[in-house]
Chain A
Amino acid sequence: MRGSAVRGWRWLAPAAVVLLLVTAWPIGRTVWTSLSTAPQTNPGDRVFVGLDNYVDVLSNRSWWTAVAATLAVIGVVVVLQLLLGLAFAAALRRVTVLWPVTRVLVLVPFAMLAVVVAVVWRDATTTGFAAQWFSLDEPGPIGQLISVSLGEVWRGTGITTVILLAGLLRVPDSLMASAVADGATHWQRIRKVVLPAAGPAFAVAATYRALDALRVVEGPLLVDVPGAEVRTVTTVVWDTTFSSFELALGAAMSVLLLALAALIAAVLVSVLRVRRIV
């Protein structure tokens, strides 16, 4: 037993080392960088400042506006993706003809580059079909942010559908048949039969889509204008690092973004934890 555990570790060691190298090293460097002030174009002004960058960011109003905007975008995107994905998954479950084709087809939007999707959806609301149908004039920066977020919904619904479908397929037919025979109501069937079996897949879908929505930068960056009032956190990080060239401040923001991701994941995992019955 002991011997096999050691052997097991020996096999795992290379993977563990690689994982450490590709995650711990850059994160460690980012944390170290964030403790100085580092204007990339004026190396003479580089000094160690401790936690000043964090104090600056966390006491800044526009940072918290960005956090609020990001959480709002994540909330809307994830909820819409889950609802649409569930509807599609329920429908796809009944499709038996050509099922391999249909299940791949829903993934097509996900195969498109995020920036292409963002451009298409922005243009739809500024000059394209959405502007004509709803006679929008000049959606403005916030309107455009909404339009690229809807683009993200469109892009991610397919992958959400596939995850949810995998969950739905785990619901045993025999259990469902017994529930129907026992005269369980619709609501009871969902709560007692579907959710316990499909719950873990729902939790995975929600967490994965939330973290994916958090890191989205293409769309918000595309519709960002100088002096915009509402920005997402990723846009602020990008702007600070690659337009203001304040490397350390951007690093501090990145660390806070990582903390935000961890927080979202922790909340979702504990909220969505579903007791497995089957």
Chain B
Amino acid sequence: MVAVAALLAGCASSVDETEVPVVHWHVGPDRVDPRQLAATCTEQSGGRYRIEVEAMPSDLQDRHRQLVRRMLARDDSIDLLSLDTSLTAEFAAAGFLAPVPAALSQQQRGVVPAALAAATYEQQLVVVPWFLEPQVLWFRGNVAERAGLDLSKPVTWDDLVAGAQRLGVTIQIQDPDGSGLADWVNALVVGSGGSIVSGTRRDAQVSLASEPGRAAASVVEFYQQSQVGPGPSSDALATFASPTGGFLLAAASAVVDPDVSAVAADMVAASYPVTGQTSVAPLSGVGLAVPAHARHREASFAAIECLTAPEQLRTLMVGSRRSVSRFAIWRDREVRRAFPQLGVVSEAIKTGTTVPSSPYWFQIVRAIEATWRPVDEVTQDTTPDESQAAVRAAVEGTMP
């Protein structure tokens, strides 16, 4: 009996001493190596935890499906999540996330307001903001000048499309992970003064069959009729770097993508094209969250604290041009030297829009994909109504 007790005690103490909690950090694809950040934080923790990076599917719908299935199954093998901002509402509503400790949520002063909003659900901070970046209008060299466009102030979609057509170059739209079309439609609708959906419940207001919805559809219709590009596509960056490339609507961080390395030195950023009065750019990013069933909650939040510390944010911003969640980093001299487009980005992040905060957003994306693709069949007469019905069904949970 005594021997057994001694043995058990020995076991317990050896666990305490030698076993460092492993924080399994699940990440989507990124241009900065998360392993490097993980190694830095593991080192800085002084043995309190060890971060191991696990890759998730690169397609956002696949990632969403996999994560939701794992969360519903109470999978406890995810300790830390790089959570896309478009997932915040759904994961918070479903109760998938561990509450952010008060100490950490009080540190959110000086955080970019849009990034804070994207990490909040029903007035509660549910995710720790990490980065949030706008899409900008990229162009190569003197293309804008040759197209007769003055891009020092925001250009309208009509002028941009007409200019590109005149010059015989394309306007590429990024879609790296399947979110491109929904982000585009959302920004066009919000830019025209509307919103796709407002409300978080089944009875949420869907307003695509509206003046802003028709304005958005007319932009898409004019874009495809002018044959200046294929709409949102996964090879947008590569095509932009090819001889027919002229304009590119993509995240500010696209400039460090290997696909555009040949023309990166020649790339200039301007504000996202306007539909209404102001430039409304799509904003998307990533927050850090701890799943409710994570095994080492404390270690996970300690890891978040490290990953959102100024030093790591600076690495992220310089290395990948992600506009990180803290303004203090933006003012850093090293960052400003590495990131000449920061002026355009800081304007865009103020006026841009994230996707609506709806637990049904991913069903809405499927409805938008079903009704706005193929892009060359979009018309302002039929698409808004069809899309309205499909999105309404998605929110109500009925068959389309």
Q: Which A residues form the contact surface with B (CB < 8 A)?
A: 37, 39-45, 56-57, 60, 62-63, 226-227, 240, 242-246, 248-249
Contact = CB atoms under 8 A, between A and B. Distances in A.
Contacts of A243: 65, 366
A217 B88 CA distance: 32
Contacts, number: 61
Interface string B64-92: 01001100100000000000000000110
Contacts of A41: 68, 90-91, 93-94, 96, 359
Given A45-B201, A243-B65, A227 B399 contact: no
A244 B363 contact: yes
A244 B400 CA distance: 12
| Residue in B366, B370, B398, B400 with the greatest tally of chain A CB atoms within 10 Å | B398
Interface in B171-208: 200-202
Given A44-B201, A227-B369, A246 B68 contact: no
A70 to B, nearest CB: 16
A244 B72 contact: no
Contacts of B200: 42
Interface string B331-372: 000000000000000000000000000011001001001100
Nearest to A40: B72
Pairs A-B, 5 closest by C-beta atoms: A41-B94, A42-B359, A60-B399, A227-B370, A246-B397
A241 B202 CA distance: 17
A241 to B, nearest CB: 11
B399 A57 contact: yes
29 contacts: A39-B359, A39-B397, A40-B94, A41-B91, A41-B94, A41-B359, A42-B201, A42-B360, A43-B93, A44-B93, A45-B202, A56-B398, A57-B399, A60-B399, A62-B399, A226-B61, A227-B373, A242-B65, A243-B65, A244-B363, A244-B366, A244-B394, A244-B397, A245-B68, A245-B72, A246-B397, A249-B397, A249-B398, A249-B399
A170 B397 CA distance: 54
B68 A40 contact: yes
A45 B358 CA distance: 13
A243 B398 CA distance: 14
Contacts of A248: 397
Contacts of B359: 39, 41-42
Given A227-B370, A227-B373, A245-B68, A42 B398 contact: no
A60 B90 CA distance: 27
Nearest to A53: B398
Nearest to A62: B399
> Which residue, A40, A42, A57, A226, has most C-beta atoms of chain B within 10 A?
A42
B248 to A, nearest CB: 25
B95 interface: yes
A42 B90 contact: yes
Given A43-B94, A227-B369, A244-B363, 8 more contacts: A41-B91, A42-B200, A45-B397, A56-B398, A226-B370, A227-B373, A242-B69, A244-B397
A84 B398 CA distance: 42
Nearest to A240: B399
Given A42-B360, A43-B95, A44-B93, A37 B397 contact: yes
Contacts of A245: 68, 72
Contacts of A240: 399
A42 B360 CA distance: 8
A37 B396 CA distance: 9
B371 to A, nearest CB: 9
B68 A226 contact: no
A87 to B, nearest CB: 42
B400 to A, nearest CB: 7
Interface string B81-121: 00000000011011110000000000000000000000000
Interface centre among B68, B69, B90, B399 (most CB of A within 10 A): B399
Contacts of B366: 226, 243-244
A39 B361 CA distance: 13
Contacts of A226: 61, 366, 369-370
Contacts of A43: 93-95
A39 B90 CA distance: 11
A34 to B, nearest CB: 13
A248 B90 CA distance: 18
A245 to B, nearest CB: 6
B215 to A, nearest CB: 24
A249 B373 CA distance: 26
Contacts of B398: 56, 249
A252 to B, nearest CB: 10
Contacts of A246: 397
A37 B94 contact: no
B206 to A, nearest CB: 15
B370 A42 contact: no
Given A37-B397, A57-B399, A63-B399, A42 B94 contact: yes
A41 to B, nearest CB: 4
Nearest to A243: B65
